[in-house]
Amino acid sequence: MKGPLYKSFYYAFNGIGETFRRERNFKIHIIFMVAVIICGIYFQIKMYEWLICFLLFALVLSLEIVNTSIEAIVDLASPDYHPLAKTAKDCSAGAVLVSAIFAAVIGLIIFIPYIL
């Protein structure tokens, strides 16, 4: 056994906190998440729509955390510029962007009927 379970949670929450402290985009995602939650409460969206929203929150935030970890690993392994390091960082950032764009589109599909 590797140690107490609570330490695993401690390290995981520390990683989330580190991402929040270091990454401006993570904070932007949190702001949009709060805005969507407020809109969802205001418009009284359906349960399945809440489930979709929370799944998308988890997807985008998780990918932002993975992106942060990839950037840290690449910076450690390749402190000087290297084209492969750039590719790794660009691809992980691209994954976040793709998820955020599709989350926004799905959010519009959910909320536009309530707005209209």
**Is 48 labeled as ligand-binding?**
no
Listed in sequence order, the residues at least 6 apart from 79 whose beta carbon sits closer than 8 Å to its beta carbon are: none
- Residue with token string 């993975």: 66
Instruction: List the catalytic residue out of 64, 96, 99, 107.
Output: 64
**Is 64 labeled as ligand-binding?**
yes
- Residue with token string 């929150």: 57
**Is 81 labeled as ligand-binding?**
no
Residues 83, 9: Cα–Cα separation, whole Å: 35
**Is 90 labeled as ligand-binding?**
yes
Would you call 18 a catalytic residue per the annotation? no
**Is 71 labeled as ligand-binding?**
yes
Question: Which segments are annotated as binding site for a divalent metal cation?
Answer: 23, 71
Question: Which segments are annotated as binding site for substrate?
Answer: 64
Residues designated as active site? 64
Question: Which segments are annotated as binding site?
Answer: 11, 23, 64, 71, 89-90
